[in-house]
Amino acid sequence: MQLIDGKSLAKKVQATVTTEVAQLKQEKNIVPGLAVILVGDDPASHAYVKMKAKACENVGVYSITHNMPDTISQDEIIATIEMMNNNPRIDGILVQLPLPKQIDTDKILEVIDPKKDVDGFHAYNVGRLVTGLDSFVPCTPLGVMKMFEEYDIELRGKDVCVVGASNIVGKPMASLLLNAEATVTVTHIYTKDLKAHTSKADIIVVGVGVAGLIKEDMVKEGAVVIDIGMNRIEDGSLVGDVDFPNVSPKCSYITPVPGGVGPMTIAMLLSNTLKSAKARA
Ligand code: GUN
């Protein structure tokens, strides 16, 4: 069993971004800029946004966070996004999700200029991803693809089971894998027999937020297991969606939690912001 070290791969990606950001500044006098819109006071969202801003600072990306109360109107959020769409210093716009209940998330995401949509959530980029055209790709699944590449994990012709069908993780993950010529099964909460699907898979990618969902008897000997889950359990520790102690001995490769996919998400956000700034250049 080999651990996939997301922490060190993320550092490697960030080092490359740092070099290219410096080059862009020197050659074109362009500093990539990221605008983050954060609504409400969800502690997890605040923690993520703080990590994103810190990561920007570390690689030389300019960032600004628009902190808004959860009483804010949809129109005010839209006005802020439009301001960022028209701001020439801003290459990337990220609206931290989830948004408060009274806000129509789909409507908000549609307002973001697709050329600045570094989260890849706009329908324009989703459509381009599904079609296999160049697009902004959501950061978490993009980070998983980077891991497959780094560890030379072949995807063509492989049976891959994606557990979870969210717009942020499962659906774009499935599109990327399909584009890489894998045979993809996507399961979700209404799937009748999850184990029947996972136990056949050469590769399992799981991101549903249920601690320990994937157990030893659900995984084929020698499988690759990618765990996108992040669950805080009673004793305060952070665990994934995979029962790591029991599943890991069966795997050829597995990601730990923490230190697996998590750090890759932020690294890919920086990479997408750089990509957008290069397009501006
Ligand atoms: N909430 C959970 N994951 C994400 C993400 O990747 N991007 C944004 N904007 N919000 C999230």
Q: Which residue type is seen at 221?
A: E
Q: With contact defined as beta carbons under 8 Å apart, do 281 and 26 qualify?
A: no
> Which residues are catalytic, by number?
52, 96, 119
SS3 13: helix
Query: Which one, of 191, 184, 224, 223, lies nearest residue 208 by Cα?
Result: 191
- Rounded-to-integer distance, Cα 207 and Cα 221, Å: 21
- The closest residue, in CA terms, to atom 9 on ligand 1 is 96
Torsion sign across C-alpha atoms 245, 177, 96, 50: positive
Expressed in angstroms and rounded, the spacing between residue 96 Cα and the centre of ligand 1 is 5
Q: Is 117 in the pocket of ligand 1 (CB under 6 A)?
A: no
Say what the pLDDT of residue 82 is: 98
Say what the pLDDT of residue 66 is: 98
pLDDT single digits (tens) 105-139: 999 999 999 999 999 999 999 999 999 999 999 99
Mean predicted confidence (pLDDT) in 28-32? 98
pTM metric for this prediction:
0.98
Q: Which domains does the chain have, with CATH numbers?
A: 28-119 (3.40.50.10860), 139-261 (3.40.50.720)
pLDDT single digits (tens) 213-255: 999 999 999 999 999 999 999 999 999 999 999 999 999 999 9
Strands 231-232 and 238-239: antiparallel
Q: Which residue type is seen at 51?
A: M
Alpha helices (H) in the chain, listed in sequence order: 6-28, 43-59, 74-85, 105-111, 123-131, 139-150, 170-179, 194-198, 244-247, 261-280
Average pLDDT, the chain: 98
- Rounded-to-integer distance, Cα 70 and Cα 89, Å: 27
Say what the pLDDT of residue 79 is: 98
- The closest residue, in CA terms, to atom 11 on ligand 1 is 97
Q: Is 140 in the pocket of ligand 1 (CB under 6 A)?
A: yes
Say what the pLDDT of residue 83 is: 98
Q: Is 251 in the pocket of ligand 1 (CB under 6 A)?
A: no
Give 71's pLDDT tier (boundaries 50, 70, 90).
very high
How much of the chain exceeds pLDDT 70, in percent?
Answer: 100
- The closest residue, in CA terms, to atom 4 on ligand 1 is 97
Q: Which two tokens stand for residue 249?
A: 């001995």
Q: Which two tokens stand for residue 194?
A: 């999850």
245 phi-psi bin (left φ>0, alpha ψ -120 to 50, beta other) = alpha
Q: Which atom of ligand 1 is nearest to the CA of 98?
A: 1
Give 211's pLDDT tier (boundaries 50, 70, 90).
very high
- Rounded-to-integer distance, Cα 215 and Cα 65, Å: 40
Say what the pLDDT of residue 13 is: 98
Mean predicted confidence (pLDDT) in 153-162? 99
